[in-house]
Structure 1
Amino acid sequence: MKTLIIYTHPNHESLSYAFLQKVIEGIGENPNEDEMQVLDLYAEGFNPLLVFNESKRRRDMHIDPELERYREQLLWAERIVMIYPIWWGRPPAMLLGYIDQMFASNFAYRDHGGLLPEGLLKGKSVVCISVMKGPTLYPLYWLNNAHKVLMRKALFRYVGIKKVKFFEFGGMEKKNGRQAEKLSKVQRYFRMAKA
Structure 2
Amino acid sequence: MVVKAELEKLNIPYTYVKIGEANTIGEISQEQSEQLDIGLKKSGLLLMDDKRSILVEKIKSAIIELVHYTDDQIKVNLSDYLSEQLNHDYTYMANLFSEVKGTTIEKFYLTHKIERVKELIVYDELNLSEIAYKMHYSSVAHLSNQFKKYTGLTPSHFKKLKHKRRDTLEDV
TM-score (normalised: structure 1): 0.24
* Structure richer in helix, relative to its length: 2
Give the structure with higher Rg (CA): 2
Q: Which of 1 and 2 has higher RCO (CA within 8 Å, sep 6+)?
A: 1
Name the one with the larger strand percent.
Answer: 1
Structure 2-normalised TM-score? 0.26
